Structure formats: C-alpha cells, structure tokens
Amino acid sequence: MTLTNAKIDTVYVVKNIVGSTLKRRLLDMGFAPGSKIRSIRIAPFGDTVLVNIRGIEIALRKNATDCIEVEVSK
Amino acid sequence: MNYTFALCGNPNVGKTSLYNRLTRSSQHVGNWHGVTVGKVEKEVDINGDKIKISDLPGLYSLTVYSQEESITRDDILTSKNDLIVSVCEANNLARNLYLTLQLLELGVPVLIVVNMIDELTKRGLFFDSQKLEERLKVPVLTTSAKYKFDTSELLKQGISALHSSKCMVDLPYLSKLPIGKVQDIIAPNIKDSKLNKRYACIKVLEKDNFVIDKLQLNDEQKKNLNALGDTQSLVARSRYDYIDTIVDGIISSKKKEPKKSITNVIDKVVLNKYAALPIFILIMSGIFWVTFGSIGNFLTDLLGYAISDLSNFVCTILKDISAPEWVIGLICQGIIEGVGSVLTFLPQIVIMFFFLALLEDSGYISRLAFTTDGLFGKIGLSGRAVFTMIMGLGCSATAVMTARGLEDEMMRKKTVILTPFMSCSARLPVYTAIAAAFFSSGNVPMIIGLYLLGALMVVIFAAIFEKTPLKSGEASFVMEMPKYRMPTLTRIFQILLNSAKNFIIKVGTTVFAFNVIVWVLGNFSFTHGFVALGNGESVMESVGSLLAPIFAPLGFGNWKAVTALISGLAAKEVVISTITSLGGMGEIFPDSLAAITFMVYTLLYVPCTATLSSIRREVGVKWMIFGMMLQLSSAYIVAFAIRSIIAAFIKSIMLGIIAVGCTVISIILLGYLIEAIFKNRKCIRCVGACERCK
C-alpha cells in the first residue's frame, strides 16, 4: 500500500520509494526504506498531508504520497 | 592568513542567523524553509587572520532541485572554500547529518556546528558533542545563534579544523556501495569532468543528472549503470543506517519528555481541517485592524500634526525673511508637505512589517502554505507560493526573489509576475491618505477590500494561465514544517528599527528626489521660468495633458493624476507625495468615485522600477514585459469596471456592498457545505483507508 491510503496516527515503515523525479527528493529528505512514518493530518482542501518521518514533520501533496510504499510497523 | 569559510546546511537550521552573528550583518532571517535565496559574503578579522564568510541557501542534498539550491552546490563544488561549516539543527540531527556525510564524501574540510542547542537544553536534553566528534572524526561545536555568543571561539576552531583536517574521512558505509563497479564504468570520463572521483561515483549511483551530464556518459555506460539496480535507495539507506549508529546516544535526557510538544498542541487547532481557514482570516483581519484601524491611524495622525506644525513654522520664517516665491513653494509645498505626506505613514509601515516578520518568525507562514496548498494546486501554483505572496505585502522587489525555491520553472515565472498584484507596503500610504480624504479616516473595510482585490487578481490570472500554454508542469509539494518559535526581544527591536530605517532612507532619497523633480517640472516652464502651479504652462502640465484623456473614462483625466501615476513608478509612495505637492486631493479627484478608481488603478498598475528590475533579473525581459502588459491592462479594465458598477448602483451603494458581501459569504459557506457533505465523505481521522472511504 502507499502512504496515500495510510490511516492517520498509525505508524508505518517505508518499504520502497517509487517514481522518478520525486524519488531522490524524498530519499534525501529522510524517506529512506526502513524509516518509521506516521500521517498526522490532512490539509483543509484535501490532497495535502502532514506526515512525521524520523521526528520531522513534512507536508506532502498526493503525488508525493503516491510514491511512498509503506507497510504497517510490527 | 586569508581564509574562506562557507556556511552550508539544510534549510531553516539558522545559517543566516549564524552568519549575522559572525559578521555582524543583518541579512533577512525567518522561521521557514528557503528564506536565503542567494550567496552573500563578508570578511571578518580574527587575531590578524582575515576570514571571508559566505552564507548559502539551504539544501537537503548535493543533488539539487531548484535554482537556489544549485547556487549552493556550485559554490561547494567550484569555489575554493578552505572550510565548509556544516550547520546542523540539534532537533533534527539525523537528517542534517545526511548532508554532512555528502560533504565528507566529497573530501572537503568540514566543521560541524550544531545550532539551536538551547531548544534541547530547554527540554532537559543533553547533547554529547564529544561523542559525535569521536565517532565522525570531525570537529563538532554547539551553539545557539539566536542568542549572542562568543563568535571568535567558533572562528578559531574553524581555522584549527582546516589545518588538522584529513582530506578523505573514512566512511564505513561506502564499502557496502558498488563504488568499484561504477568506477570501472565511468573511469575514462572522470578526468575530463574535473569532478572529485568519490563524489562522482556516489552521485552516479544516486542518478544525479548534473553529474551524469557532466560526465557525458555514452549509452553503453548508462546501460551498465542501470544494471546495478535501485542504487538510489541503496545509497540513501546506507547513509541513514550509518547515521543511526552515529547519533545513537548522542542526545540523552535527564527527565522524561512530555509526549506532546507545544507545536503539536497549537497545530491541533491552527491546522484543523475546518478551523484553519477561519483562523487565517481572523489573523489577517487582526493585522489589518491594528495597522489601518485605531492604533496605526492614531500614530499616523500624531506624526501628521508634528509635520504640519513644522511646515507652518518653516513657512512663516521663510515669509518673514521674504524669500522668493519659488523658494517658499519648493521648500513648503514640494519638500515638507510632499515628503512629509509620506513620512507620516512611518508608524503604519513599521506595524505592517512587524506583523509580517511575526508571521515569518513564528513559523505560521509555513502552516499557511500547508493550509492553502490544495487551493493553490488547483490553479497551478503551490503552497510555497504563499511565502512569496505574503512577503509581497511587504516589498514586491524582494518578494519575487523568494520564488526561486519553487521547483517548477513555469510556476516560478508565473508567481514572479503575479506577485506585484499583492499590495506592497509602499501602496499603503496611497490608500490610507485617499481613503482618509474622501471617506472616514481609518476606513479598514475599504482598505481590506483593496488588498483582497489584489489577491483575487493573482487567483484569477493563475486560473486563466492554467487553461493556456502557460500551464504548470505536474508539481509536487514537499515542505518541511518548522517548529513554532518565539522571536527574541532583541529581534523584535531589530525588526522595528530596520523597517523604520529602511522607510526613512527611502523617503529621504527616492521620494525626496522625485518630489523635487516633480515640483520643479510642475512649476517651471521651458520658456517662462517659474510659472506657479496650474496655469497651463509648466513642463509637467504640457506632458501630462497629452496623456490625461486616456484616463478620462476612469474619472481622473487630469494632468496631475497622470503625473502622480508616472512618478509613482519611482516608488509607489511618490504617488501620494506628488498629489500633495501638486495641490492636494481636492483638485485631482472630482468626486469620491474617481478616488476609488484611482486607488484601484494604483493597486494594479505597473510596479515600481526596483520591482521591475528585480523581476527582470528573475525571469528575463520577455516575462517582465508580459507582466507589465498584464498589469497595465488589468488595472485599466478593473478600474473601469468597478467605476461603472459603482456608478450604476451609486444611489444604493450600501445595498450593493451588502448584497455582494452576503453573496460572497453565502458562496463560501455553500462551498464548505458541499465540500463537507459530498466531496469528502471520508471520515476525519482517515485518509481513505477504512471501508467507508474506499
């Protein structure tokens, strides 16, 4: 599943980053495979989500969350 | 000895704050990502050594995404910096070290400065810089650039660091990467590219287009590289795995931390799906109410009395000593009254800049970007454009530069040419003075209306562009959310002082000079010398009268209004000083309707020359001219439309306003209602994962 479908306030683990242009950007900003990630809230107009990755809060638009494959943290 | 130090680090870690402390400068700082968009440098002396320190835009990786980031990469790669000061944020150590590792991979001498250490200390946390130093084998210092500290210590450490630094720090994770294989493939190309070997190999693994282009790899080589698999993820993961071992135990706590930080608590309200927008409207209304309403108005009046007293005093003396008529006119009307008419707005300008700085420093502006991203996304802009637009309320000339952080080139250009529609602080005196003359003073709703009109033009044009070849590329929005921070008292004092200083300097130079020119041209003729105002012979009058008929449909087709608009190109404040020194509002605007259209025209027409040259620098002449045409035509059309609409409803003007107000409010409410009922049937706590939302 991708981060777009993730539940709010549930901890996931980044499995893989897909896509081309955004991939490196996301990797550089801390979305490396194996990192813990949690969605915090959705923006008022939808499409934009605030997530917590490695203790940092980052806002992402849907085309970015689509690139982030996650699985539920064990 | 002469040295050069470059400050390099992630965005919003306090590089510019540190730079300001080290060099005693006052470069613009703010609590959001991407404040610094260009390189600045200054030399400092320490024990006889000269150190040139440069501040660079923040970046996350040496593989860059936007114009401003490439400035930093190019400086790191090509300038001969003796030392790179890798500025890290204490709260965010792991992600910050990701960039530091890339600097170490490159083999440049590095000094790590961990900033914002005060925020850890306040939370009762301890930072073990010695342990970090031992593990990374790189000197580490801690600091809080927000507060005053002994900068000489840092500089001395920097000098000793560059003397003792080993060129290539051993980085254990590199052995996990197929660097040898890459080197075999690209070896023939490295020499010509003049790139560092280790850096080139790693960046090829990361698929950095800049390096790949530089190396001029052939198809065969590219194919061989692709066969190595998903090396991008491998590199990132190896770096982060190594960082995890490095930072383990560096920060230790003495007491148990509260689970929820203040930032989380505030965000729960400020970023609430339904409250976010009303809160923004409330904040902006508050700012406008203080700036234009009672408080700002009171202070401006006070200064106004003082200036008119001074004017009377000086004029009486001049008359007593029977100075020539033109000298009295120039000094009293041209200089004191004209320039004074702008200077009285000092309190309101300072208040405006103070609030803008507060929006920036507190971290709220980033929340605003997050809140509005969805809306901006629909019209081909990004939430990041909010930074530029809000800065545009201060000064358009500097605001357009902040657009450099936008990743999409088309989006950046559009943002730049649309920013002047946001009403800058120089236009503030124009509205306030005219509104006070024709309506009640402190007419806040009317002024807010003008600001909203400017913002509306941005939205309308951006939406129109989306249907044309100027459509933005598929844009992303990836933005870090800073913590809420309180500016220090010193900083508040500095904001007030700086904005007052800048305004006084502008009034004393540009406004003063242009006002003298305008007054002289308005009172002298080519043939007859001093002719006094308004008898049809002065230079300005003959030129202005030629253009005046163009503006007749707008209600102010007279040479004085034209002169004011033309001289306003030097600086928008000059519009009001020109009007004053040419004889005041009454002679220029036949009725209050003309005053309204004039304000609308001033809001929308071509920005000042400083902004124009700034726009040209950012996007080139072609786009600048396109922007000017857009502004000139929309100013005329909108001003004319508003005049016609108001004229049609002039008798029931109040009714019209109420009707429009009610319609707008009901449309917004309806929009919310529809959104709530139909579009987002997802539950609030779910982004679409649960059964109902699927």
Domain annotation for chain B: domains and CATH numbers: 2-164 (3.40.50.300), 276-648 (no CATH), 651-694 (no CATH)
Report chain A residues touching chain B, CB-CB < 8 A: 4-9, 16-17, 21-30, 32-35, 39-50, 54-61, 63-64
Say which CATH number the domain at A41 has.
Answer: 2.30.30.90
φ/ψ region of A3 (left if φ > 0, alpha if ψ in -120 to 50, else beta) reads alpha
What is the model's pLDDT at position B38? 92
**Which of B72-75's residues contact partners 24+ apart within 8 Å by CB, and which partners?**
B72/B8, B72/B39, B73/B210, B75/B6, B75/B39
ipTM, 2 dp:
0.95
C-alpha to C-alpha distance for B636 and B505, rounded to whole angstroms:
32
pLDDT in tens, B190-221: 888 888 899 999 999 999 999 999 999 888 99
> Are A56 and B206 a contacting pair at CB < 8 A?
no
> Are A48 and B91 a contacting pair at CB < 8 A?
no
Angle at B447 between CA B422 and CA B356, to 5 degrees: 50
Q: Which of A4, A7, A22 sits opposite B476 (nearest CB)?
A: A22
- DSSP, collapsed to helix, strand or coil, labels residue B212 as helix
> Is the pLDDT at B63 greater than 90, yes or no?
yes
Nearest residue of chain B to residue A16 (CA atoms) = B233
B-chain CB neighbours of A39 within 8 Å are 687
Please, is B219 exposed, middle or buried when counting C-beta atoms within 10 Å of its C-beta (0-12, 13-18, 19+)? exposed
Nearest residue of chain A to residue B384 (CA atoms) = A59
Q: Which of A9, A24, A33 sits opposite B63 (nearest CB)?
A: A24
> Is the pLDDT at B524 greater than 90, yes or no?
no
pTM of the model: 0.87
- DSSP, collapsed to helix, strand or coil, labels residue A13 as strand
> Is the pLDDT at B480 greater than 50, yes or no?
yes
Question: A55: domain range?
Answer: 3-72
> Are A7 and B689 a contacting pair at CB < 8 A?
yes
C-alpha to C-alpha distance for B557 and B28, rounded to whole angstroms:
42
C-alpha to C-alpha distance for B29 and B282, rounded to whole angstroms:
25
% of residues, chain B, pLDDT over 70: 93
DSSP letter for B176, please. G
The set of residues, in sequence order, having a beta carbon less than 8 Å from that of B188 and lying 6+ positions away, is: none
- A&B contacts, CB < 8 Å: 142
The mean pLDDT value of chain B amounts to 88
First to last CA, chain B: 68
pLDDT in tens, B27-54: 999 999 889 999 999 999 988 899 999 9
Closest by alpha carbon to B360, among B386, B332, B339?
Answer: B386
A-chain CB neighbours of B237 within 8 Å are 32-34
Confidence tier at B685 by pLDDT (50, 70, 90): very low
Query: Are B554 and B588 within 8 A, CB to CB?
Result: no
Q: Would you state the structure tokens that stand for residue B100, as one six-digit string?
A: 């530091």
- DSSP, collapsed to helix, strand or coil, labels residue B16 as helix
> Is the pLDDT at B673 greater than 70, yes or no?
no
- Measure in Å the smallest separation between the Cα of A37 and chain B Cα atoms: 14
Please, is B70 exposed, middle or buried when counting C-beta atoms within 10 Å of its C-beta (0-12, 13-18, 19+)? middle
C-alpha to C-alpha distance for B101 and B228, rounded to whole angstroms:
23
Q: Which of A6, A44, A64 sits opposite B478 (nearest CB)?
A: A64
What is the model's pLDDT at position B676? 59
B-chain CB neighbours of A40 within 8 Å are 267
Angle at A44 between CA B11 and CA B280, to 5 degrees: 70
- Measure in Å the smallest separation between the Cα of A6 and chain B Cα atoms: 6
C-alpha to C-alpha distance for B139 and B156, rounded to whole angstroms:
12
Nearest residue of chain B to residue A5 (CA atoms) = B689
Mean pLDDT of B298-322: 89
The count of domains in chain A is: 1
